[in-house]
């Protein structure tokens, strides 16, 4: 990274050295849901003890319930991150926790007592729909003092969606984008301010993916296969790259953490491959014509009894380590997590792999527990040594592909990562069983560190 790169903002994280001290904060926040499980209880934010010296290690020590039932909590973000490092008045105190189905935004206070987060404010989905004609919030990113959120649909649940703009007081400013020409669907996004770049990806409209997966919807063109490159300051798409059949359902997008870099990656979920982008030459083309996109990793489908077609691996989450050395991704149907050395971004080398659940039945039990589901969301510690893995994707998709999760619930595991030579192994001492929750088996999804992490923070 460049010398003037800041790693986090707010009290206690004003320098790279202090940022690494965030590793001493042995807490994790994980969204958990009952939506779609048959349990009539609110979704909640689980606080997990990740301190190996603690008597409650790998246990849920607090549950912050949402005030309503049926939100489908999914992805989260912060009110302040590294992109506001030059403003000492900003503090990473509030987590924004969207409900994809309800379109509500829950503002959770994690700063007053990090071990016991509390609900600060709720922005109702009906208000968002009325003011912006948007629904189904997904990715949350800090934008200096403000916040932008990708929205997957319009008020009726159809594409292409757009982006919601909130101010620092969590008030609706309106829609963020000026022009979404060329965008059929929306999903994830990431921006790189030094290069005036933003990249967004496509899933499908809420009306398509919420009921569950139907291959006929893919054949009917109801799922995305393009990524969009934006003029970030102008808030408009300057180039759309259609990945075609080699890039069906591109979901998670990740830039390098180095703000001088234009390299980034997207996982095409259904096609089960990884695409890499970067700017050629001096990177000054205003129409995005200097952006090169290439496929760099393929995961082959597998023939499986009972399936009419070879089973794709279904790459559902991707992240890049803080030093930009390793790329990690999860294969939710096959059941493995992979680690690649991306020191040469165009020529990744497989350096590690672990199996957790999955349809291929290569690891039906882990740490003495039967796994229903497979690796889905992943989060990496700032030092790159601990990779946290959860097993739930989306309620209706869980029910379809892993129906046993209703009784067993989901799980969180920890994978030890060799940052020097590459390599991965499942830690035998860490296991969070969400099948044993007070209201019944629940499903855990995205995980965050209180002090920021590999997938929440953007550097300027």
Average pLDDT for residues 192-217, to the nearest whole number? 96
* Predicted pLDDT of residue 144: 78
pLDDT digits (tens, 9 = 90+) for 273-311: 999 999 998 888 999 999 999 999 999 999 999 998 999
Q: Which residue has the higher pLDDT, 211 or 6?
A: 211
Strand 369-370 with 378-380, pairing: unpaired
Nearest to 412 by CA among 370, 364, 445: 445
> Is residue 66 within 8 Å of residue 42, measured between CB atoms?
yes
pLDDT digits (tens, 9 = 90+) for 141-182: 998 789 999 999 999 999 999 999 999 999 999 999 999 999
- Is residue 369 a part of any domain in this protein? yes
Average pLDDT of the chain is: 92
* Cα 454 to Cα 23, 40, 91, 323, 403, distances in angstroms: 12, 33, 18, 10, 31
267 forms beta bridges with: 274
Looking at the 3D structure of the chain, how many domains does it have?
A: 1
- Is residue 56 a part of any domain in this protein? yes
- Is residue 352 a part of any domain in this protein? yes
Q: Is the dihedral of CA 197, 202, 206, 210 positive or negative?
A: negative
347 forms beta bridges with: none
> Above pLDDT 90, what percent of the chain?
86
Average pLDDT for residues 68-94, to the nearest whole number? 81
Separation CA 223–CA 208 (nearest Å): 8
Residue 102's domain is classified under what CATH number? 2.130.10.10
Average pLDDT for residues 179-191, to the nearest whole number? 96
pLDDT digits (tens, 9 = 90+) for 352-400: 999 999 999 999 999 999 999 999 999 999 999 999 999 999 999 999 9
- Is residue 8 a part of any domain in this protein? no
- Is residue 456 a part of any domain in this protein? no
Place of tokens 């997207």: 266
Report the run of H or E that residue 48 belongs to, with start and end. Answer: strand 44-49
* Predicted pLDDT of residue 91: 79
- Is residue 443 a part of any domain in this protein? yes
- Is residue 454 a part of any domain in this protein? no
pLDDT digits (tens, 9 = 90+) for 108-129: 999 999 999 999 999 999 999 9
- Is residue 457 a part of any domain in this protein? no
The burial of 363, by beta-carbon neighbours within 10 Å (0-12 exposed, 13-18 middle, 19 or more buried), is given as middle
Range of the domain at 287: 16-448
* Predicted pLDDT of residue 13: 41
Six token digits for residue 286: 């205003």
The burial of 67, by beta-carbon neighbours within 10 Å (0-12 exposed, 13-18 middle, 19 or more buried), is given as exposed
Q: Which residues of 205-235 are buried (b: 16+ CB within 10 A; e: fewer)?
A: bbbbbbebbeeebbeeebbbbbbbbbbbeeb
């Amino acid at each position: 990274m460049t010398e003037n790169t800041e790693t986090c903002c707010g009290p206690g994280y004003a320098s790279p050295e202090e940022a690494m001290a965030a590793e001493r904060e042995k807490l994790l926040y994980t969204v958990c849901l009952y939506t779609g499980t048959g349990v009539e209880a609110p979704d909640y934010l689980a606080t997990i003890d990740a301190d190996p010296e603690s008597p409650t290690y790998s246990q849920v020590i607090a549950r912050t319930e949402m005030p309503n039932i049926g939100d489908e909590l999914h992805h989260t973000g912060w009110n302040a991150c590294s992109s506001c490092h030059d403003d000492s008045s900003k503090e990473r105190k509030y987590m924004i926790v969207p409900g994809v189905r309800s379109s509500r935004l829950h503002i959770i206070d994690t700063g007053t007592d990090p071990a016991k987060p509390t609900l600060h404010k709720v922005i109702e989905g009906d208000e968002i729909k009325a003011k912006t004609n948007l629904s189904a919030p997904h990715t949350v990113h800090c934008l200096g003092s403000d916040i932008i959120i990708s929205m997957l649909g319009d008020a009726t649940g159809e594409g292409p969606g757009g982006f919601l703009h909130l101010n620092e007081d969590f008030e609706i400013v309106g829609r963020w984008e000026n022009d979404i020409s060329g965008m059929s669907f929306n999903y994830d996004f990431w921006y790189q301010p030094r290069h005036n770049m933003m990249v967004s990806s496509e899933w499908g409209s809420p009306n398509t993916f919420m009921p569950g997966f139907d291959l006929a919807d893919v054949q009917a063109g109801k799922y995305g296969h393009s990524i969009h490159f934006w003029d970030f300051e102008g808030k408009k798409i300057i180039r759309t790259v259609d990945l075609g059949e080699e890039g069906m359902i591109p979901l998670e997008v990740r830039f390098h953490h180095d703000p001088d870099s234009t390299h980034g990656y997207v996982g095409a979920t259904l096609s089960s491959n990884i695409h890499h982008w970067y700017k050629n030459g001096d990177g000054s083309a205003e129409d995005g014509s200097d952006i090169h996109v290439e496929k760099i990793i393929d995961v082959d489908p597998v023939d499986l009894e009972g399936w009419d077609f070879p089973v794709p691996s279904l790459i559902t989450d991707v992240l890049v380590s803080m030093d930009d050395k390793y790329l990690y991704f999860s294969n939710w149907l096959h059941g493995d997590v992979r680690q690649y050395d991306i020191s040469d971004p165009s020529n990744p080398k497989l350096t590690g792999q672990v199996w957790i659940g999955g349809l291929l039945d290569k690891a039906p039990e882990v740490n003495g527990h039967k796994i229903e589901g497979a690796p889905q969301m992943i989060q990496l510690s700032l030092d790159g040594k601990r990779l946290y893995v959860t097993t739930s994707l989306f309620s209706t998709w869980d029910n379809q592909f892993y129906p046993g999760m209703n009784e067993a619930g989901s799980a969180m595991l920890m994978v030890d990562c060799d940052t020097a030579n590459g390599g991965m192994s499942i830690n035998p001492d860490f296991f969070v069983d969400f099948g044993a929750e007070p209201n019944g088996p629940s499903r855990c999804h995205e995980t965050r560190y209180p002090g920021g992490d590999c997938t929440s923070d953007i550097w300027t």
